[in-house]
Amino acid sequence: MLEKLLRLVASGGVHSHAALAQELNVTGALLDQMIADLVRLGYLRPADASCPSRCEDCPLHETCGIGGGGRLWVLTERGERAARASGAGVSQADNR
Amino acid sequence: MKDEGVVTVALAGQPNVGKSTVFNLLTGLSQHVGNWPGKTVEQKSGTYTYNGTTFRLVDLPGTYSLTANSPEEVIAREFIIRERPDVVVVIVNAAQLERSLYLLAEILPLGAPVIVGLNMTDVAEQEGIGVEPAVLQAALGVPVVPMAASKNQGVDTLVKTIDVVARDAPRVCSPRLPEIRADHRAVLQDLERLIAGRVPEPYPVSWIALKLLEGDAEITRLMQERLAPEQWTQVHDILAKHEDAVIAVASGRYDWIGRMIRAALVRPRTGQIGLTERLDRWATHPIGGLLLLAGILGMVFWLTYAVGAPLQELIDTYIVGAVADWVTGLTAGGPGWLRGLLVDGVIGGVGTVITFTPILLIFFAALGLLEDTGYMARAAYVMDRFMHLMGLHGKSFLPLFLGFGCNVPSVMGTRIIESRRAQLLTILLIPLVPCTGRLAVLAFLAPVFFGGWGPWVSFGLVIGALIVLVVSGVLFNRFLFRGERAAFIMELPLYHVPNGRTIGLFVWRHTVEFLKKAGSIILVVSVVVWALSYFPAGDVEASFLAQIGWWLTPLGKLMGLDWKLLVALFASFVAKENSVATLGVLYGAGEQGEGLAQILSGVVTPAAGLSFLTVQMLFVPCVATMAVVRQETGSWRWMLFSVLFLLVISFVGGVAVYQVARLVGL
C-alpha cells in the first residue's frame, strides 16, 4: 500500500489528498497516517520545511496556506528511489 | 493461566483512547502507582475480582506503535513479550479506528491472546461513524467488545470476555495477522533462517526478523551482540540490500488495516467534509474543473462590466470631469502651461486612473472571495495539469497564481522553489500572468473599442495570454532547461463560508496600495509625460514626445498603433495603469468635459484597439517587476532575456492580431 502511494506520487505533479485516498481505496484518515509514517521514515517531507523565511516575511503567506490551511508534502530523493525500485519490482512480478 | 487464581491482563492502547478510564473503572481504589523498573515512566497496576478469580491489570504506557523510538514503546512491547500476560486488552478509538488499528497490527504478532476494546462508540455515533463490532471481530479473528467507558457502558462485557479468553484463549482467539508485502517474504524467511537458534527467549523469531527489516535500533543492537560475527555480516548484507524493507513491512500493516476498515467501518458523508467532497468532484475534475475555472473567470469579468463600468462612468463624469471643469475655471487667467499641467497632466492622467477604482474593487473582492472560500487551492490544483506540460509542478503554481494580483510578490515568491531550473522558468513565465494593473487597463479599454463585446474580448485576451504562457513554458522547458519533475501531495482545505471582514480587509489593503501608487508613481509619470507632450511648443503634435513617437512609427504601423498608443505602451513600463494615464494626457481627456473613453472610441479602430490590448497583455511588466526579476535571478542576463522575450512576443502578437483583424474586416 505504501509503495503504491509512493509510486502514485512519484508519477509527478500535484496529487490531491482526496484523489489519492480514492485511488488507494482508503479513508482520508488512513491516508493521513500513511503520509505521517512516510514523513517519519524520510520518504516524504512537509513542503514548507525548506522555506527560506518565516511565514510572516514571505510574500506568499496569504496564499501559501493554499486558500487557508491546506498542507503540502513533497517526495524526497529517498522516496523517489523507493518508488522506482518498487515500480521495477511490480513489473518483474507482472512478467513472471 | 500461569499463576492459578491470578490472571495478568495488560491494558494497551494509543494515547487519548480512554484507556485510563477503563483502567480506573476496573480497578477502582485498588491501584498501585510506581515507576517501571529502571525507568522514569509511571507504571500503574491494580486488581479486580470476577467469578472467583483475581485479575491483575497492568496499564501499559500509551503508545502509537511498538517501535523503539521512545522508552514508552520499549516498555510496552517488552512487557508483552517477557511477562507474557494472559490477556492483552487493546483499547481502540471507534471514532479514529484507522489510527488505532496500527498499534493492534503490531501487538497481534507478539502471540499474546488479544481482546479489542472498541471504545468511544458514543463519540463515533455523534460523528456519524458506524463500526460493526461483529464484522470487525470476524475480520480480526479476536473478540471485539464495543464500549463507551466514559459512560460506564460495555465494561461488564469486557470483564466477562477477559475471563473467557483467559480460560480458553485458543478457542476464541485466532487472529488474522498482517503479513509483509509479498515480494519481501523470501527475504524475511532468509533472515529467520539466519537468526534461528540465536534469538533469546521469549522473543518470537519472526517478530525479531521483522524488526530487523524495519531497522529497529534496539533489536539490531540485540542481535548484533547475539550473533557470531560472520552470521551478523550475512544479516547485515541482507539488510543493506533491502534498506527500504521498512516500507514492505509497514505496507503489509496498512493493507491489513485497509481490509479491516473496509469491512467494518461505515462512515456516512455528512457535514463540512461531505460538502467539500461533493463540490470537489466538479472543482477538481480534469475537464469539469477547468470549465468551472473558466466560468468563474468569465463571471468575474461580467461582474466587472455590469457593476464596475457604470460606476467608472459616474466617477469620470461627476468627479473627474467636474474637478477638471473647476480647475479649468480656476486657472482661466493663469499661464497656459499651468492649466495644461493640472488639467491635462494631473487630472487627465491620475484622474483617469482613479476611475479604475470600482473595477479594482471588484477584482480584489472576487480574488479575496475565491481565496477565503478555499476555491483558489482547487484552481491551482486544476491548473497543475498544464503546468505538467511545462515541467513545473507543486510550488511553482503558488507564485504563478499570485501573479494575478501583482507580479512583484509573485516573482519574490519563487524563493520557495528549491530547483533553480524551476525557479528560473517560473520567473520567466510570471510576466505573462495578467496582473490586476493589466486587467484594469483591459477592463477600461475593451468596452471603449468593442462596446457590448468588451467582456468577451477581455475574457478571450486573458485566456490567450495564459495559452501563450503555457506554450512558452513548454518551449522553454524543452529547449532551455532540461526537464525535471517534482512530485507533491496537496491536501485541499475544506471549503468554508467566507468571512466578510477578512475579504473587506483584503480589498481595503489592496485598494489603498493602488491609490497610493496613483498618488505617487502614476502622478510623477503623468506629469513627465505631460511635460514631454507639451514642450517645446505647447502643441502635442510638435512635442518632444511626438518626436520620440515618430521614430517608433514604422514598428507601430505593422501593429496598427499610432505614436500616441506606442508611447502609452512604453509608459506602462513604469506602472501598467500609466498606459491609460498617458492616453488621457495625450488625447486631452478632461478638456471640454470629454472622457478618455469617448475620445478613444472615435479615433482608434477596433483592429488597432485589439492589437493594443494584445500587446498590453504580453508586454514587458512594470519596472518594479523587472527589478525583482534581477534580484531573484541574481543575473542581469536573465532579466534582459526576459525583457527581450516579452518585447518579441508582444510585437509578434500585436502584428498577428492586427493583420488578422483587418483581414476579417474589424
What is the pLDDT at residue B274? 67
Q: How far is CA B320 from CA B312, B575, B597, in A?
A: 10, 21, 13
Q: Between B463 and B545, whose confidence is greater?
A: B463
What is the pLDDT at residue B285? 82
Segment among B269-278, B356-365, B557-566 with least mean pLDDT = B269-278
Q: What is the mean pLDDT of residues B199-221?
A: 90
In a domain, A79, yes or no: yes
Q: How confident is the model at residue A95 (pLDDT cuts 50, 70, 90)?
A: very low
All three cell numbers of B525, joined, read: 509619470
Question: Which H or E run contains B373?
Answer: helix B357-373
pLDDT for B198 beyond 50 = yes
All three cell numbers of B359, joined, read: 473595477
Specify whether the CB–CB gap between B304 and B454 falls below 8 A. Answer: no
DSSP annotation of B562? -
In a domain, A74, yes or no: yes
B388: contact with A, CB 8 A cutoff: yes
Whose cell is 494584445? That residue is B614
Chain B residues 225-264 with CB within 8 Å of chain A = 244, 246-248, 250-251, 254-255, 257-258, 261-262
CB < 8 Å to B182, chain A:
93
What structural domains and CATH numbers belong to chain B? Answer: 6-172 (3.40.50.300), 182-268 (1.10.287.1770), 288-488+496-663 (no CATH)
**B44/chain A closest Cα distance in angstroms:** 29
Chain B residues 114-153 with CB within 8 Å of chain A = none
Q: How confident is the model at residue A91 (pLDDT cuts 50, 70, 90)?
A: very low
What is the pLDDT at residue B110? 92
pLDDT for B414 beyond 50 = yes
Q: Which residue of A has its CA nearest to B381?
A: A14
Cβ density class B372-385: b for 16+ within 10 Å, e for less: bbbbbbbbbbbbbe
CB contact under 8 A, A89 and B489: no
d(Cα B161, Cα B147) in Å, to the nearest integer?
13
What is the pLDDT at residue B143? 95
Q: Between B511 and B61, whose confidence is greater?
A: B61
Specify whether the CB–CB gap between A9 and A75 falls below 8 A. Answer: yes
CB contact under 8 A, B394 and A13: yes
Give the closest residue to B425 by CA, choosing from B411, B409, B445. Answer: B411
Quick: pLDDT tens for B61-94.
988 888 767 888 888 999 999 999 999 999 999 9
d(Cα B439, Cα B462) in Å, to the nearest integer?
8
Give the closest residue to B268 by CA, choosing from B402, B129, B85. Answer: B129
Q: What is the mean pLDDT of residues B183-204?
A: 91
Q: How confident is the model at residue B387 (pLDDT cuts 50, 70, 90)?
A: low
Residues in CB range of B287: below 8 A, 6 or more apart = none
In a domain, A95, yes or no: no
CB < 8 Å to A58, chain B:
413, 415-416
pLDDT for B270 beyond 50 = no
What is the pLDDT at residue A92? 46
Q: What is the mean pLDDT of residues B440-468?
A: 86
CB < 8 Å to A18, chain B:
277, 280, 284, 492
What is the pLDDT at residue B74? 87
Residues in CB range of B546: below 8 A, 6 or more apart = B533, B540, B563
d(Cα A43, Cα B78) in Å, to the nearest integer?
29
B653: burial class by Cβ within 10 Å (0-12, 13-18, 19+)?
buried
**Tell me, what CATH number does A34's domain have?**
1.10.10.10
In a domain, A93, yes or no: no
All three cell numbers of B48, joined, read: 479486580
Segment among A22-36, B485-499, B566-580 with least mean pLDDT = B485-499
The identity of residue A74, as a single letter, is V
What is the pLDDT at residue B115? 96
All three cell numbers of B600, joined, read: 478613444
pLDDT for B654 beyond 90 = yes
- For CA atoms A29, A31, A34, A39, give the dihedral sign: negative
In a domain, A33, yes or no: yes
Q: What is the mean pLDDT of residues A74-86?
A: 83
In a domain, A28, yes or no: yes
Residues in CB range of B604: below 8 A, 6 or more apart = B448, B449, B565, B612
Q: Which residue of A has its CA nearest to B256?
A: A1
Share of chain B above pLDDT 90, in %: 27
Number of domains chain A is built from: 1
pLDDT for B624 beyond 70 = yes
All three cell numbers of A92, joined, read: 518483474
Specify whether the CB–CB gap between A66 and B397 falls below 8 A. Answer: no
Q: Between B475 and B388, whose confidence is greater?
A: B475
Q: How confident is the model at residue B396 (pLDDT cuts 50, 70, 90)?
A: low
Helices and strands of chain A, counted as H and E runs: 5, 3
Strand bridging mode B87-93 / B6-13: parallel
Q: Which residue of B has its CA nearest to A90?
A: B183
Q: Between B457 and B346, whose confidence is greater?
A: B457
All three cell numbers of B547, joined, read: 518626436
CB < 8 Å to B376, chain A:
63, 66-67
Specify whether the CB–CB gap between B625 and B407 falls below 8 A. Answer: yes
pLDDT for A21 beyond 90 = no
Q: How confident is the model at residue B518 (pLDDT cuts 50, 70, 90)?
A: low
What is the pLDDT at residue B138? 94
In a domain, A20, yes or no: yes
Point out which residues pair with B387 in neighbouring strands. Answer: none
Specify whether the CB–CB gap between B249 and B178 falls below 8 A. Answer: no
Residues in CB range of B477: below 8 A, 6 or more apart = B389, B390, B391, B392, B425, B483
Per the structure, the complete domain to which residue A34 belongs is given by: 2-88
Give the closest residue to B361 by CA, choosing from B574, B576, B515. Answer: B515
Q: What is the mean pLDDT of residues B391-415?
A: 69
DSSP B158-189: HHHHHHHHHHHHHHH---------GGGHHHHH
In a domain, A21, yes or no: yes
pLDDT for B2 beyond 60 = no
Give the closest residue to B362 by CA, choosing from B279, B277, B440. Answer: B440
Q: How confident is the model at residue A57 (pLDDT cuts 50, 70, 90)?
A: low
What is the pLDDT at residue B114? 96
CB < 8 Å to A59, chain B:
402, 409-410, 412-413
Q: What is the mean pLDDT of residues B166-175?
A: 87
B67: burial class by Cβ within 10 Å (0-12, 13-18, 19+)?
buried
Quick: pLDDT tens for B5-31.
789 999 999 988 889 899 989 988 777
What is the pLDDT at residue A17? 81
Question: Which H or E run contains B31?
Answer: strand B31-35
